[in-house]
Structure 1
Amino acid sequence: MKVSDTSDLWWKSAVIYCLDVEVFMDGDGDGIGDLGGLASRLDYLAELGVTCLWLMPFYPSPDRDDGYDISDFLGVDRRLGDLGDFVEVIRIAEDRGMRVIVDLVVNHTSDKHPWFKAARASRNSPFRDFYVWRDEPPERQPEPVFPDQETSDWQYDEKAGQYYQHVFYRQQPDLNITNERVRDEIAKVVGFWVQLGVSGFRVDAVPFLLDTTGIVDGKKLLPDPHAYLRHLRSFLDRRSGQAILLGEVNLDRKQQNTFFGGSEGNELTMQFDFISMQKLYLSLARGDARPLEKALLSRPKGSPDIQWANFVRNHDELTLDKLTEKERAEVFAAFGPEKRMQVYDRGLVRRLPPMLQGDPRRIRMVYSLMFSLPGTPVLFYGEEIGMGENLDVGGRMSVRTPMQWNADRNGGFSTAPTAKLRNAVTPGGFGPEHVNVAQQRRDPDSLLAFVRTLIRHYRNGSEFGWGAFDVLEQPDKAVLAHTLTMGDRVIIAVHNFASEPREVQLPLPVAHEDRRLTDVFTDAHVPLEGNTLTVSLDGYGYRWLRLTARDDTGLY
């Protein structure tokens, strides 16, 4: 089906796949992934079942923060290709039923951006007010976002003769969104990429984008920063009624709801569920499903026109900042006991399989859970084959190793000498010699085959993306049993967080008369007797069951 034929709310049942062009596939053999290499691998992603690609920054950049220090919002880094190559990726993706969203990183620019160069040259420059300046930094400042790299949010610039604000790294001066011209430039960026065919944006660091507290006294502040976010959403809707804003908002539930636009649902279209992700790891560490269950039930109802994005791992550190100090220590002890596995005293720089010691039962249970939760699943490249991290690289880059296509040198990512690679490959038991696409494509019992099966069932059942969520009460703390209901169809998903087998008695969510129950994975009939359902689970086991009317056609 062509993208243009899909629903306006396509994102409700999408499968999103995040990748970094620089480490996905090197098409010209220079050691750096590129758009041509990506284009050659789109058939693989279509085969996997992906319906939406999320491309990490590919814009021109000095590359001091893996491309998040952008020097031109309207271009393509020449190492990766050009705008023609980008448009070709969009075209091929559309032909294979996939949409493309891109990173919108407008909290800051690179200090090499022409705007900043002009701004620092003169106080009379029209670009001076594109950034946030002070003669002296404030006495009281929040703790830096990257405490191992920065001691202040303010950096003195000799040429400018003032301090500029940078919430992140000093080479990334913050943009001043209280300046109407800056807001107009952001709209221009959004309009440009939409016109080239993108279906939306993953919006970086949304709370920092809207935070105007660093603006000096006497400057005109935005009376309501959320009004600006509503305006940006409205602008996007006018340009493309189907495009989305997928926001990075790692805040508490009440504040997250505010960034959705509350009951109106007129700000962000989607948000990553950082809270449930963090509680998932606490549940895994304890063998107790209750922390995750509580987090899922705490989601604000909000508008029906919004959606949560579920993820197990992303491109940054695995942040645990919303856990208590004691809870965080539990997760560190279970999954990252070495100091080199930890970062900023709040997160881990590991991928899931090594954290779970390669236990295939546990790994598959986690991905089964992710695809059965209410919301839209988001995969980070390589998750589908069980890639690991390279702790020798250090920091966030530990999980941004080259994609492992085969067991050849460099994992089939590049024909360049290994020393020229953009990032070092994953070593050891989770490296390309043991974990790669070519090998798993031939193995019907591989993790790749399993994830492909999960995606197929997810896409074939509208309950997963659209169904109303509820928890089935049962006494075993190691088990999470929940339902997704859409019309007469109900998915019952049951997951065991314990290593020992479990048998649980579940109350049927609806009367079973004139109903039939089938196992989603095997299509086998499950007998129904009485008002309860007995479900047997292996250690780290999982079941997806579908309850339908007896006269249901079974076509999904």
Structure 2
Amino acid sequence: MGTKDHWYENATFYAIDVEAFADGDDDGAGDFEGMTDRLDYLESLGIDCIWLLPFYPSPNRDNGYDVTDYYGVDDRYGTLGDFVEFVREADRRGLRVIVDLVVNHTSDQHPWFRKAREDPDSKYRDYYVWREDPPENPDPHRGPVFPGEEDNIWSYDEEAEAFYYHRFYHFQPDLNTANPDVREEIRKIMGFWLELGVSGFRVDAATLMIDNKGGLESTRLDDPHGVLRDMRHFVERRGDDAILFAEADDAPDRLGDYFGNSHGRISPDADAESGVELGEGDEINVMLNFLLDAYLVLALAEREAEPIREVLDILPVPPEGGQWANFLRNYDELNIGRLPENDQQRVFDAFAPDENMRIYGRGIRRRLAPMLDGDADRVRLAYSLLFSLPGAPLLFYGDEIGMGDDLSLPGRNAVRTPMQWSAGKNGGFSSADPEQLVRPVVSGGEYGYETVNVADQRGDPDSLFQWFSRLNRLRAECPEIGHGDCEVLDADDRAVFAHRMTSDHGRVVAVHNLGEERTEATLELDAEPVRLFGDAAFERVADRIGVESDGGEDGSADEWRFELGRYGFCWVRVEESV
């Protein structure tokens, strides 16, 4: 039975930190004017949807995730008019825009919190979570999100004469999502931005939004996932095929709950005897795939395919209408905390041998290119693998040219350096004096803007940028990957990962060699392969051997041998579209 196509299932998402992308008014900070001027570049890259990190008015103590006004644009980035013009111009080029929705918490400078601390009888007091005395034995599973930077989740406010709850920084008090008034405020915020043309929201800290905040009875949600389900229903009513794209980093056995699937209500299409739900998910449309990311990086560190096979067995299969967003790096730390401890250490040893490269005891604060020692073959192998796996790929700005990091910057800012557009002043990011820049441009060495920049790579047919442009367009031509069934294929070499994606559109097979040595992989294919991507050689080595077909009857297939070079890969189509 065929499935309904959704735009996001085969989209390539591209995350942008507005303040670090392009400076249009030369004040040293990126803005919407500068981003609008760069839309032709994004169109040429072949991406489908832009995800904007927070751009709202903010003290900017946490990269904009400490919001003071959900209905505006920070003065540094322009005006609401500039934002609308950006969305309009993006739409004209066929590019969608989703925005960060940061409603797990606010800034302590937000008017709601100011009113809450001033007046205990104000309705805003119940917008947050308060206690006269913090618990003596806090839940170890509800500790600070940033260990080493915060040592408590309760902070005392002298004006309110009470402690308030926060899982992030002390200047980011948590909102009480059990309060119906807060839920109504969230709907108003979403409605506002939907009216301005966005295609959805990246829901920040979705796992914490549905938690029993502070462990209090007054904040306990009778139906925790009802928060997300209400948001989804609102977006579907008010948005034109808009989506929820969420950060939900939870235990593997709970991840599927965030997609939703009628929560025990039997679909009209369900099998009456089995009770299997066949309906569409009713919560998050797209979820950031933190688990896959951790295991992919482990596979790259060990140069073996087994971690990929393992994680594909662990991951829940999304219901219809649900999708994973697969990535290798994002704007935060590369979080490997879900790996077993011994595997975490292997990753640290391979990719973050110095303590300065690590953060929070669970993450790596480096970009992928320097993690892989600038090895162009290995970088291409990693992203080819990412784009071929079930889900929708996500790129972080600068990935497409192999940008590096600046480990002299504090915390996660190491990977949030300005985009490198040219070999000119400040890498073409801004004409302001260097000391005025929001953050320094990476300069000198292997990853400096003098060597790694857009202008040089756009003119070079063999550059990483041109390779990504081809990869993005190929991915759009392979809907099997977005909503097909994934089957891992047998390969003798532990370094080889081979898999087949099958849907009504056809079949795509991808073969990747994670190892440094040349190797071969012999696969049984039931149709003649046609090359889509990669330069691995392949040839038929045996005709029509007996195999077990999908229907359980004896079928036949040919054996094909793929010759894979160091970090080699190949995508082939083995069945024409129907």
How far apart, in 2, do the equivalents of 1:77 and 1:355 lie?
A: 34
Partner of 2:169: 169
Shift, 1:186, TM fit: 0.4
Partner of 2:11: 14
How far apart, in 2, do the equivalents of 1:439 and 1:465 lie?
A: 32
Structure 2 counterpart of 1:445, from 431, 451, 462: 462
| Equivalent pair of 1:519/1:525 in contact (CA under 8 Å) | no
| Equivalent pair of 1:132/1:215 in contact (CA under 8 Å) | no
Shift, 1:222, TM fit: 2.1
Partner of 1:3: none
Partner of 1:468: 485
In structure 1, what residue type is equivalent to 2:184?
D
Q: Does 1:207 align with 2:207?
A: yes
Shift, 1:8, TM fit: 6.8
Shift, 1:9, TM fit: 1.1
Q: Tell me: CA distance 1:220–1:420, structure 2 relative to 1, closer, same or farther (3 Å).
A: closer
How far apart, in 2, do the equivalents of 1:525 and 1:478 lie?
A: 17
Task: Give CA-to-partner distance per residue, 1:154-202, whole Å, 9 cap, x none.
Answer: 1000011000001000000000011111000000001110111000011
Q: Does 1:538 align with 2:565?
A: yes
| Equivalent pair of 2:286/2:324 in contact (CA under 8 Å) | yes
Partner of 2:22: 25
Structure 2 counterpart of 1:506, from 509, 523, 546: 523
Q: Does 1:416 align with 2:413?
A: no
| Equivalent pair of 2:50/2:97 in contact (CA under 8 Å) | yes
Q: Does 1:146 align with 2:146?
A: yes
Structure 1 counterpart of 2:449, from 405, 412, 432: 432
Partner of 1:284: 300
Q: Which moved more, 1:294-303 or 1:81-90?
A: 294-303
Q: Tell me: CA distance 1:522–1:276, structure 2 relative to 1, closer, same or farther (3 Å).
A: closer
Partner of 1:483: 500
Shift, 1:425, TM fit: 1.4
| Equivalent pair of 1:410/1:418 in contact (CA under 8 Å) | yes
Partner of 1:112: 109
Shift, 1:220, TM fit: 5.9
* Superposition TM-score, scaled by structure 1 size: 0.94
Partner of 1:224: 223
Partner of 1:346: 362
Task: Give CA-to-partner distance per residue, 1:464-491, whole Å, 9 cap, x none.
Answer: 2222111011221101000111236211
Structure 2: gaps spanning 5 or more residues: 262-276, 544-557
In structure 2, what residue type is equivalent to 1:475?
D
| Equivalent pair of 1:471/1:482 in contact (CA under 8 Å) | yes
How far apart, in 1, do the equivalents of 2:437 and 2:243 lie?
A: 34
Structure 1: gaps spanning 5 or more residues: 1-6
How far apart, in 2, do the equivalents of 1:523 and 1:222 lie?
A: 54
Q: Does 1:377 align with 2:393?
A: yes
Q: Tell me: CA distance 1:448–1:302, structure 2 relative to 1, closer, same or farther (3 Å).
A: closer
For residues 191-202 of structure 1, the aligned pairs below 5 Å read 191-202=191-202
Shift, 1:98, TM fit: 0.4
How far apart, in 1, do the equivalents of 2:120 and 2:537 lie?
A: 74
| Equivalent pair of 1:122/1:128 in contact (CA under 8 Å) | yes
In structure 1, what residue type is equivalent to 2:425?
R
Aligned CA RMSD, in angstroms, stands at: 1.6
How far apart, in 1, do the equivalents of 2:399 and 2:317 lie?
A: 30
How far apart, in 1, do the equivalents of 2:490 and 2:400 lie?
A: 32
Partner of 1:4: none
In structure 1, what residue type is equivalent to 2:194?
V
How far apart, in 2, do the equivalents of 1:285 and 1:300 lie?
A: 24
| Equivalent pair of 2:147/2:360 in contact (CA under 8 Å) | yes
| Equivalent pair of 2:537/2:562 in contact (CA under 8 Å) | no
In structure 2, what residue type is equivalent to 1:260?
F
Shift, 1:253, TM fit: 2.2
Q: Tell me: CA distance 1:317–1:392, structure 2 relative to 1, closer, same or farther (3 Å).
A: same
In structure 1, what residue type is equivalent to 2:35?
L
Q: Does 1:316 align with 2:332?
A: yes
How far apart, in 1, do the equivalents of 2:505 and 2:152 lie?
A: 56
Q: Which moved more, 1:139-148 or 1:271-280?
A: 139-148
In structure 2, what residue type is equivalent to 1:198?
V
How far apart, in 2, do the equivalents of 1:321 and 1:65 lie?
A: 21
In structure 2, what residue type is equivalent to 1:247?
A
Q: Tell me: CA distance 1:423–1:522, structure 2 relative to 1, closer, same or farther (3 Å).
A: closer
Task: Give CA-to-partner distance per residue, 1:391-411, whole Å, 9 cap, x none.
Answer: 000210000000000011211
How far apart, in 1, do the equivalents of 2:386 and 2:335 lie?
A: 18
| Equivalent pair of 2:536/2:570 in contact (CA under 8 Å) | no
Shift, 1:524, TM fit: 11
Q: Which moved more, 1:13-22 or 1:481-490?
A: 481-490
How far apart, in 2, do the equivalents of 1:31 and 1:8 lie?
A: 42
| Equivalent pair of 2:536/2:563 in contact (CA under 8 Å) | no
Paired residue secondary structure (1:429)? coil
| Equivalent pair of 1:102/1:198 in contact (CA under 8 Å) | yes
| Equivalent pair of 2:14/2:49 in contact (CA under 8 Å) | yes
% identical aligned pairs? 49
* Superposition TM-score, scaled by structure 2 size: 0.91
